[in-house]
A and B are shown apart, each in its own frame.
Chain A
């Protein structure tokens, strides 16, 4: 163990940005070692970045004989904790470099990978998929990458691990990388980064390794520090959407100073978290249901008045017109909201042990709206090996299928490929309230354009 306490204060300013990522891969791929390595070494970065850069050139990883740190003990400790009973679920871990704070969703390498990955990956800005460099792309890799493609995880990092056991051979790495390239091309998966690493010895995890001179890209942590977070990207490219959570109407019971209370007698604002895009005071907005247009007259945040707000800020909007909006409504950039749909074709990631059969009655939660729904048909189940949609009578746990649903009330759904927030929904059991599936909209069918089959 390191015996000297680092004295350099990390540059953890209150302005540091947040990045969420998940890890995927079977235990044999070295995922636990990689997680331990990241957690351990990232704190070494905090201790002294300059020293870390220097150390890279002189040390061959902390696990080496001369490293002096019992690295296996760290990961074994984490695993022992799991073995005591809580081995089946995502664990969230927190660490920081001096550039970013990370939330790591550590998805255990488990047979029920789909269920775990869906839970861990839906909130991830990036997913790190481990491959054992000696084995190359396996069936499990195909499944992982298929799920990530369907969930539109913004960044996928394939860490080709155990490069030390391949003798740091460029050709061996290139062979695996070519397999990955073929697969990602087949899947249409963009923004895939491939890094040769040794989680055990630390090569290209935090520091760029001198033992892979043929690799000119960033280390894993450098990449994680540099990739834009989902919200940072989507606030720029996606249209403004705010699902209304509740209406703030104090009706006299206000917390403002008494002399100001009269100003808030008729206060009414629509509270919610901006799902995508940017809103400014004076913007024309369209609301659903109803489709009326109005103008944003104020953006309030706990006593502060903002000129503009972006996803994922939680704000309260004041509107020019009294539109009687309630929870479940959506406020959107003027003229950008699609026609509300009652019929929708969607991908379903089935998460419940009880299978889905055609004709099932469920609840659908999209944004802040929850409506009854009927599963009218199941078009098929995706074969994750061939990627083809195969006909099926039912969806079982961990299946990814395509189904059609009819909603009791029309919702302004959008294809998941266009807007992640407006295209994602939960399928909920009306009997016990359990979450049955993660849904992503493929095609919303507007009432004006009725579904044909």
Chain B
């Protein structure tokens, strides 16, 4: 029998529709996968914690956790490593969300470490690399054996290779050359003393999935994810907000632009994008289209995209 005749007789491309046995949408499947992961970790670990910045990805993970254990409360606490450079409106949102869900929030402060000399301010002013020590101290102090995060595999090439349950040594290090096989949906969270496991329930979600889920579920986000007028100046192809920790140089012009943030990290390094997307639906449309333009559009757009991606990676503390 020839291969050609063995192939299924398919109608022309325009008439093809995927077989639909169970009628679950991609968001349904991703949601159930994430809830399964969260429940596995809660069942198998002693003291899980969720890294919660108030950014959209960690907000989605918290939302999934609240669905996973309904009608019981989320059975773990939240942890935020505050660089001291976070947007005030995001911190306010972080606190209000924890309060609303009745979940305990611990904050590890980079500023405290700088003030008492355990960490030194870097010459370039960025505090992202300074987060690791307070994070590991907080994980040790809380005796957390599992740390949930909102990182996604579509964010960058290194994350594309990371397991959903990622074993870390006592220094929090990931060893990409020696990852534990991850088979079927059977997650193995076993670890030895000193090790802990980072858990990424939305590994398989894309930025678009996250936004479509936010839209479907009516999830509230900090307002700066949506278009607003802001005093900004251009640097490295990004619009940077004028804040106490990100001031324009003499040759940089401050102007008011309509912008929004695709990611929310430190004020000192997170760029905004020009946007009129003031609603979730408008952001979903914008993300859909920007995915298409990222590769083929102008260099400035590419730069924004790459920088935003890097910010997001930092935002996840990983």
Interface presence of A351 (CB below 8 A)? yes
Interface presence of B176 (CB below 8 A)? yes
CA of A92 to CA of B6, assembled, Å: 30
Interface presence of A285 (CB below 8 A)? no
CA of A93 to CA of B188, assembled, Å: 23
Among A12, A94, A218, A312, which residue has its beta carbon within 8 angstroms of that of B7?
Answer: A218
Q: Interface digits, A224-259 against B, CB 8 Å rule (1 contact, 0 not)?
A: 011111011101100000000110111001111000
Interface presence of B96 (CB below 8 A)? no
The minimal Cβ–Cβ distance linking B272 to chain A, given in whole angstroms, is: 20
Interface presence of B101 (CB below 8 A)? yes
Find residues 33-62 in chain B having any chain A CB closer than 8 Å to their own CB: 33, 35-36, 39-40, 42-43
Q: Interface digits, B1-17 against A, CB 8 Å rule (1 contact, 0 not)?
A: 11111111010011011
Interface presence of A383 (CB below 8 A)? no
Q: Considering the complex, give the chain B residue whose CB is closest to the CB of A327.
A: B43
Interface presence of B192 (CB below 8 A)? yes
CA of A81 to CA of B158, assembled, Å: 9
Q: Interface digits, B68-82 against A, CB 8 Å rule (1 contact, 0 not)?
A: 111111000000000
Interface presence of B32 (CB below 8 A)? yes
Among the 9-residue stretches B131-139, B224-232, B288-296, the one with 4 or more Cβ atoms under 8 Å from chain A is B288-296
Q: Which residues of the other chain, B, contact A426 by a CB distance below 8 angstroms?
A: 183, 186, 188
Is the Cβ of A273 less than 8 Å from the Cβ of B185?
yes
Q: Interface digits, B288-312 against A, CB 8 Å rule (1 contact, 0 not)?
A: 1101110111000000000000000
Interface presence of A65 (CB below 8 A)? no
Is the Cβ of B32 less than 8 Å from the Cβ of A312?
yes
Is the Cβ of A428 less than 8 Å from the Cβ of B17?
no
Q: A245-B36, A264-B71, A300-B70 are known contacts. Are A216 and B7 too (CB-CB below 8 A)?
A: yes
Is the Cβ of B182 less than 8 Å from the Cβ of A119?
yes
Interface presence of B206 (CB below 8 A)? yes
Interface presence of B83 (CB below 8 A)? no
Is the Cβ of B184 less than 8 Å from the Cβ of A180?
no
The minimal Cβ–Cβ distance linking A81 to chain B, given in whole angstroms, is: 5
The minimal Cβ–Cβ distance linking A300 to chain B, given in whole angstroms, is: 7
Size band of the interface chain A makes with B: 35 or more
Interface presence of A271 (CB below 8 A)? yes
The minimal Cβ–Cβ distance linking A66 to chain B, given in whole angstroms, is: 18
Is the Cβ of A118 less than 8 Å from the Cβ of B181?
yes
Is the Cβ of B18 less than 8 Å from the Cβ of A249?
no
Q: Which residues of the other chain, B, contact A435 by a CB distance below 8 angstroms?
A: 180-183, 188
Interface presence of A53 (CB below 8 A)? yes
CA of A429 to CA of B192, assembled, Å: 11
Is the Cβ of A18 less than 8 Å from the Cβ of B216?
no
Q: Interface digits, B22-36 against A, CB 8 Å rule (1 contact, 0 not)?
A: 101111111111011
Is the Cβ of B7 less than 8 Å from the Cβ of A195?
yes
Is the Cβ of A217 less than 8 Å from the Cβ of B8?
yes
Interface presence of A310 (CB below 8 A)? yes
The minimal Cβ–Cβ distance linking A185 to chain B, given in whole angstroms, is: 10
CA of A208 to CA of B185, assembled, Å: 35
Interface presence of A113 (CB below 8 A)? no
Q: Which residues of the other chain, A, contact B186 by a CB distance below 8 angstroms?
A: 365-367, 424-426
Q: Interface digits, A117-142 against B, CB 8 Å rule (1 contact, 0 not)?
A: 01100110000000000000000000
Is the Cβ of A273 less than 8 Å from the Cβ of B36?
yes
Interface presence of B153 (CB below 8 A)? yes
Among B32, B176, B180, B204, which residue has its beta carbon within 8 angstroms of that of A103?
Answer: B204
Interface presence of A346 (CB below 8 A)? no
CA of A122 to CA of B186, assembled, Å: 10
Is the Cβ of A15 less than 8 Å from the Cβ of B179?
no
CA of A99 to CA of B8, assembled, Å: 18
The minimal Cβ–Cβ distance linking A35 to chain B, given in whole angstroms, is: 12
Is the Cβ of B21 less than 8 Å from the Cβ of A94?
no
Among the 9-residue stretches A1-9, A336-344, A373-381, the one with 4 or more Cβ atoms under 8 Å from chain B is A1-9
Find residues 160-179 in chain A having any chain B CB closer than 8 Å to their own CB: 160, 173-174, 177-178
Interface presence of B203 (CB below 8 A)? yes
Q: A123-B185, A226-B10, A365-B186 are known contacts. Are A3 and B71 too (CB-CB below 8 A)?
A: no
Among B8, B33, B35, B40, which residue has its beta carbon within 8 angstroms of that of A368?
Answer: B40
Among B22, B39, B160, which residue has its beta carbon within 8 angstroms of that of A311?
Answer: B22
Among the 9-residue stretches A83-91, A385-393, A445-453, the one with 4 or more Cβ atoms under 8 Å from chain B is A83-91
Interface presence of A317 (CB below 8 A)? no
CA of A339 to CA of B70, assembled, Å: 33
Interface presence of B118 (CB below 8 A)? no
Q: Which residues of the other chain, B, contact A122 by a CB distance below 8 angstroms?
A: 183-184
The minimal Cβ–Cβ distance linking A349 to chain B, given in whole angstroms, is: 9
The minimal Cβ–Cβ distance linking A97 to chain B, given in whole angstroms, is: 10
Interface presence of B122 (CB below 8 A)? no
Q: Which residues of the other chain, B, contact A6 by a CB distance below 8 angstroms?
A: 292-293, 296
Is the Cβ of A18 less than 8 Å from the Cβ of B30?
yes
Interface presence of A67 (CB below 8 A)? no
Interface presence of A290 (CB below 8 A)? no
Among B4, B73, B295, which residue has its beta carbon within 8 angstroms of that of A255?
Answer: B73
Q: Which residues of the other chain, A, contact B70 by a CB distance below 8 angstroms?
A: 248, 255, 300, 302-303, 316
Is the Cβ of B72 less than 8 Å from the Cβ of A250?
yes
Q: Considering the complex, give the chain A residue whose CB is closest to the CB of B203.
A: A92
CA of A236 to CA of B209, assembled, Å: 27
CA of A222 to CA of B11, assembled, Å: 10
The minimal Cβ–Cβ distance linking A287 to chain B, given in whole angstroms, is: 18
Is the Cβ of B176 less than 8 Å from the Cβ of A86?
yes
The minimal Cβ–Cβ distance linking A415 to chain B, given in whole angstroms, is: 16
Q: A256-B71, A313-B28, A314-B36 are known contacts. Are A424 and B183 too (CB-CB below 8 A)?
A: yes
Is the Cβ of B36 less than 8 Å from the Cβ of A253?
no
Q: Which residues of the other chain, A, contact B293 by a CB distance below 8 angstroms?
A: 5-6
The minimal Cβ–Cβ distance linking A266 to chain B, given in whole angstroms, is: 12
Q: Interface digits, B204-237 against A, CB 8 Å rule (1 contact, 0 not)?
A: 1010110010011000000000000000000000
CA of A18 to CA of B29, assembled, Å: 7
Q: Considering the complex, give the chain B residue whose CB is closest to the CB of A365.
A: B186
Interface presence of A438 (CB below 8 A)? yes
Q: Considering the complex, give the chain A residue whose CB is closest to the CB of B191.
A: A433
- Residue contacts A-B, CB under 8 angstroms, 18 given: A7-B289, A16-B26, A78-B157, A86-B176, A89-B176, A91-B161, A118-B183, A123-B184, A181-B6, A232-B19, A232-B20, A245-B40, A250-B73, A254-B72, A273-B33, A312-B33, A314-B36, A432-B190
Nearest first, the 7 A-B pairs at minimum CB distance are A433-B190, A217-B7, A232-B21, A194-B3, A302-B67, A177-B3, A228-B19
Q: For the A-B complex with A16-B25, A217-B7, A433-B191 known, give 7 more contacts whose Cβ atoms are closer than 8 Å.
A: A181-B1, A194-B3, A222-B13, A250-B73, A273-B36, A314-B31, A314-B35
Interface residues of chain A, those whose CB is within 8 Å of chain B, are: 1-7, 9-10, 12, 14-19, 43, 46-47, 49, 53, 78, 81, 85-86, 88-94, 96, 99-101, 103, 115, 118-119, 122-123, 160, 173-174, 177-178, 180-181, 192-195, 208, 214-219, 222-223, 225-229, 231-233, 235-236, 245-246, 248-250, 253-256, 264, 267, 271-273, 300-303, 310-314, 316, 327, 351, 363, 365-368, 420-421, 424-426, 428-429, 432-435, 438
